[in-house]
Structure 1
Amino acid sequence: MSDLIDDDASGVNAPEFTVTELSGAVKRLIEGEFSHVRIRGEVGRVSMPRSGHMYLDLKDDRSVISGVIWKGVAGRLATLPEEGMEVIATGRLTTFPGQSKYQIVIEDIKPAGAGALMAMLEKRKAALAAEGLFDATRKQELPYLPEVIGVVTSPSGAVIRDILHRLRDRFPRKVLIWPVAVQGTACAAEVANAIRGFNAMTTGGAMPRPDLIIVARGGGSIEDLWGFNEEVVVRAAAESEIPLISAVGHETDTTLIDYAADMRAPTPTAAAELAVPVRMELLGWLETQSARLTRALTQGVGQRGQRLRDLSRALPRADALLDGPRQRLDGWGERLPQALTRSVQLRRVRLSDTSGALRPAMLRRGLEADKRRLSATAPRLPTGLQRVVDARREALGRRADRLSIAPLKADLKRKSDDLLRLSLRLSDAGGRQIDNWSKQIEALERLRETLGYKATLQRGYAVVRGDGDVVTSKKSAAQAASLEIEFADGRLTLGGKPPRKKPKDTPEQGSLL
């Protein structure tokens, strides 16, 4: 008996737990005691995997707590947490038995006051400025008189009414409104999509592409305007190929889109004033310029007329200009017969001198000398010709040896193969081109049939013609001498008569057509 008592170990009666049981008990204890807590701290590491959930750390100077924001909650947050931001998180504590750790499941998270928002805003502003999104060299000039103005704002607020009223007073233009939410969680995505949507429009399309974009919103707190501080909105404004005016808030309100926009307006009404000039001022300026042009032309013509009159008085008389040439002509006319007689005499003397040297005896001597020279040269001509022919024949023989028929045949076969290959390619390309043209013609024919009025007749409509012209009213049908109705399966002609005047007491009946 004493041996049994001595073998007892301390703590034998303590209960035994499995690891899962102990982890579950700790989990129930923590979740029961801390089912709803609010924590103030600084956001540390932040990560968002493809699942859409957000994982982060909340820390102070001595401790760190892991946190998780599920995808559905993250999508509803007005401001997403960023590293270094001081926040107040609301949620419940729970454990993660797989790693023996506890964490807070965050149901709501907000910046800890306006100071935290401003700190995050300054940090984001510095990062975007470092990328060059706010550089003045990126900004575009506003068009002087845009044909179409795109407005990104709420369609139900007073902002759009102020803009339209101001545009109507200054210079009426076409306005395209892209309705968006101007505050809340959906604001940033909708504004960015609207800016990119306007830029994606094609010039000359069914919906005209704006020449200028105005992003407008009324005043509000920093939380209300926070959507226009989001990075997606700033990048969309900086990437816009269409000049953009930012008119967010009042004159004292500043958001990051103001730095990325090509022009900042203090109010939405001021944005409308920047967008278009005053029509009446332009008309007045045009009338002033027209009057100045008329005065300038009148003065110019008058000055040139006076100058012409001054110059004409300085010119000599026409008779005085012709006196000298007339006298010279008379003198030359008197000297001309003598000069002609002397010239003929001089030419007669030169002809006599030249003909004296051409005597028959001299010509015969020259002819006999040429005959002797030809007789001496003739015997040597056959020998010289034979030597030239032999040399040419020898050179031709050397060249004929180099012209073998085999290379010529190989080259001819190679070029024949190339010609055949090119002919086949040309035939295939021509066939494909003809097929494409045929398909295009068939598509155009189907489109013509679809857009033509024949397709409308197939749906039960009819075309009424009166005296050869299409009738579109009861009065025109009543005045026509004959009517022709075209249905899908043919035409029906009705003989008409001039309408008779109805008695005043007879009630008007509707036409059968």
Structure 2
Amino acid sequence: MDDLIDDGPAPRGRNEAEYTVSEISGAVKRTLEGTFGRIRVRGEVGRIFRARSGHLYYDVKDDRNVLACTTWKGQISSLSVQPEEGMEVIVTGRLSGFGAQSKYNLNVDAMEVAGAGALMAMLEKRRTQLAAEGLFEASRKVPLPFLPNVIGVVTSPQGAVIRDILHRLSDRFPRNVLIWPVAVQGRACAPEVANAIRGFNALPPNGPIPRPDLLIVARGGGSIEDLWGFNEEAVVRATADSRIPLISAVGHETDTTLIDFASDHRAPTPTAAAERAVPVRSELIATVRALGQRQTRAADALVRARRQRLADLSRGLPRPEVLVQRPRTRVEALAGRLPLALTARVARARAEIAQLDRGLTLGERLGAARQRLSLLSGRLDLALQAQRRRDAARVSATAGAFDRLAARGFPQPRRDLDRLVRRLTPEALSRRALRDGDRLEAILRRLSVVATTRQSALTARLTALDRLRESLGYERTLERGFAVVWAGDRVVTDPAAARAARQVSLQFAGDGRVDAVTAGGTAPSRKRVAGAKDDDQGQLF
């Protein structure tokens, strides 16, 4: 140390050397850096502080002492692990002094976890913390699509993992695959994997780059240190926030990382992830064919069962002629009643027409209305005269009373009486009579219109009934070649009545009739036609 410090003049009367503060601080700094140089220190991470400038300040301690450590902003990315309070680590750096505060610290440029036990303890602590936030809840997980159209793979583009995934997808069911290359170990692993998951989720559904329907985060096996990037909090939070279903396939079946708890499905290997992502196309085709065959067999069986059921039901039905026997009998009965019904309807129509003919004509109705109007006018004149006499008597009586009131000093009733008398003048009564006459004339005109309309309606109805009578009359039937058998004034409708009548008359279309006798009667003399056979035909003539 004497070689490093330039001794000054000794004070008078004392043997100790005298130094300035900067000299002693510089000597201490040179001694620390020269004696220790680059060293490795093992301890537990204590207090951690990240400055606004980006520098990281923390303590490494044991059970008795504390060593202040500093990692500058540019050195943080080179650390294989990020310091966390309570983590047991081995830090590597250079020891130096800081004379401005009389402190010394270790500038750390490398850090590693001190043993697998410490890593597992830190992993369990982080898992408990994230689980308490609900990032591993089953309610956050979404079902995987049955057959995704686009699959996004987050892994390293080199190595056997991506080849195994692509080969397995091609064998089972070829799909479109988007690969996001990332580092799968080291300090760049966690931020790149988190950015890849968020990047896939940020793709628009209908953009130029198709958005994946399923994500696979894959990596091969390795030690816990190699897989540590998938235990980082950033990766776990990005996995939990992913809106796209995600399969984690990190390491081998025995390897477990925190991304497995946050993912929607955990596959033991990358190959198993590809198998879970898509079904087997050949198996689907076979299943569809089997279902089609089953559907065809079921349809055939259903048709056969329905056909047999129809045959069984048809055997229980009666014969068609039995089904139509009753309707046929009813139709024949109605056909026999139809001529009588038509005859009765024609008779009723004729009676209605006759009754209408016996009614008054329009002129007679108008004459009766005028006569009644004249009678009412005469009665109105008499009623007006009687009313006038009664009003005059009432006015005279009221005038006497009002005169008596006026004599006593009440002139108002007299003026009211004068107005009433003016209203009852002959001219006022005449105007009232004229108004009543105008009303009677209006009523008479309305009566004339109503009568004309009524007569037109009755005429149209009479015409329609006459057409109905002609269409329903038996004369139309005669024009089609039929004849009516009369026995006197009675119509014969059955053979027994014709034989009983003996002498009948046949009415044809037009006005002509032909007399005839029935079998058993005396037929009119006529010449036998040569060669004619004597059979039953023509026995009515």
- Calculate the TM-score normalised by the size of structure 1: 0.67
Q: Give the one of 318, 333, 337 matched to 1:332.
A: 337
Cα distance change, pair 382–52 in 1 and its aligned pair in 2 (3 A): farther
Structure 2 distance, partners of 1:122, 1:21, is 50
1:214 is displaced (CA, Å) by 0.9
Q: Match for residue 379 of structure 1?
A: 431
Within 5 Å, give how 1:89-128 maps onto structure 2: 89-128=91-130
Q: Secondary structure at the match of 1:303?
A: helix
Q: Match for residue 203 of structure 1?
A: 205
Give deviations 1:9-41, integer Å, cap 9, x for gaps.
996453332222222222223333332333222
Within 5 Å, give how 1:289-438 maps onto structure 2: 289-320=291-322, 321=324, 322-344=327-349, 347=352, 351=356, 355=360, 362-368=368-374, 379=431
Which amino acid is the alignment partner of residue 368 of structure 1? Answer: S
Give deviations 1:458-483, integer Å, cap 9, x for gaps.
xxxxxxxxxxxxxxxxxxxxxxxxxx
Cα distance change, pair 179–371 in 1 and its aligned pair in 2 (3 A): farther
Q: Which shifted more, 42-51 or 196-205?
A: 196-205
Within 5 Å, give how 1:161-200 maps onto structure 2: 161-200=163-202
Q: Which shifted more, 16-25 or 109-118?
A: 16-25
Structure 1 distance, partners of 2:102, 2:241, is 48
Q: Match for residue 501 of structure 1?
A: none
Which amino acid is the alignment partner of residue 379 of structure 1? Answer: R
Q: Match for residue 444 of structure 1?
A: none
Q: Give the one of 246, 267, 270 matched to 1:268.
A: 270
1:160 is displaced (CA, Å) by 1.4
Give deviations 1:250-296, integer Å, cap 9, x for gaps.
11101111111111000111001101111111111111011111112
1:372 is displaced (CA, Å) by 7.3
Cα distance change, pair 264–342 in 1 and its aligned pair in 2 (3 A): same
Structure 2 distance, partners of 1:381, 1:269, is 118
Q: Secondary structure at the match of 1:109?
A: strand
1:244 is displaced (CA, Å) by 1.0
The number of aligned residues is 375
1:378 is displaced (CA, Å) by 8.3
Cα distance change, pair 370–318 in 1 and its aligned pair in 2 (3 A): farther
Q: Which shifted more, 76-85 or 357-366?
A: 357-366
Structure 2 distance, partners of 1:40, 1:271, is 40
Q: Match for residue 496 of structure 1?
A: none
Structure 1 distance, partners of 2:302, 2:89, is 77
Give deviations 1:28-80, integer Å, cap 9, x for gaps.
23333332333222211112223222110122333322110122322111111
Q: Secondary structure at the match of 1:160?
A: helix
Q: Give the one of 247, 250, 253 matched to 1:248.
A: 250
1:311 is displaced (CA, Å) by 3.1
Cα distance change, pair 10–309 in 1 and its aligned pair in 2 (3 A): same
Give deviations 1:67-108, integer Å, cap 9, x for gaps.
101223221111111011111222232222222222221232
Which amino acid is the alignment partner of residue 303 of structure 2? Answer: V
1:148 is displaced (CA, Å) by 1.7
Retained in 1: the 8 A contact 2:203–2:210?
Answer: yes
1:179 is displaced (CA, Å) by 1.8
1:369 is displaced (CA, Å) by 6.0
Within 5 Å, give how 1:2-41 maps onto structure 2: 12-41=14-43
Q: Give the one of 231, 252, 260 matched to 1:229.
A: 231
Which amino acid is the alignment partner of residue 110 of structure 2? Answer: D
Q: Give the one of 56, 68, 71 matched to 2:70.
A: 68
1:219 is displaced (CA, Å) by 0.7
Structure 2 distance, partners of 1:282, 1:57, is 61
> Structure 2: where are the runs of 5+ without partners?
1-10, 385-428, 436-541
Structure 1 distance, partners of 2:151, 2:345, is 90
Which amino acid is the alignment partner of residue 226 of structure 1? Answer: W
Which amino acid is the alignment partner of residue 79 of structure 2? Answer: L
Which amino acid is the alignment partner of residue 29 of structure 1? Answer: T
Larger Rg: 2
Q: Secondary structure at the match of 2:40?
A: strand
1:314 is displaced (CA, Å) by 3.3
The percent of aligned pairs where both chains have the same amino acid is 59
Give deviations 1:153-208, integer Å, cap 9, x for gaps.
12221111211221122112222222221111111122122222222223343333
Structure 2 distance, partners of 1:233, 1:78, is 16
Structure 1 distance, partners of 2:233, 2:257, is 11
Which amino acid is the alignment partner of residue 246 of structure 1? Answer: S
Cα distance change, pair 51–346 in 1 and its aligned pair in 2 (3 A): same
Q: Secondary structure at the match of 2:370?
A: helix
Cα distance change, pair 259–381 in 1 and its aligned pair in 2 (3 A): farther
Cα distance change, pair 130–324 in 1 and its aligned pair in 2 (3 A): farther
Cα distance change, pair 101–309 in 1 and its aligned pair in 2 (3 A): same
Structure 2 distance, partners of 1:329, 1:343, is 20
Which amino acid is the alignment partner of residue 155 of structure 2? Answer: T
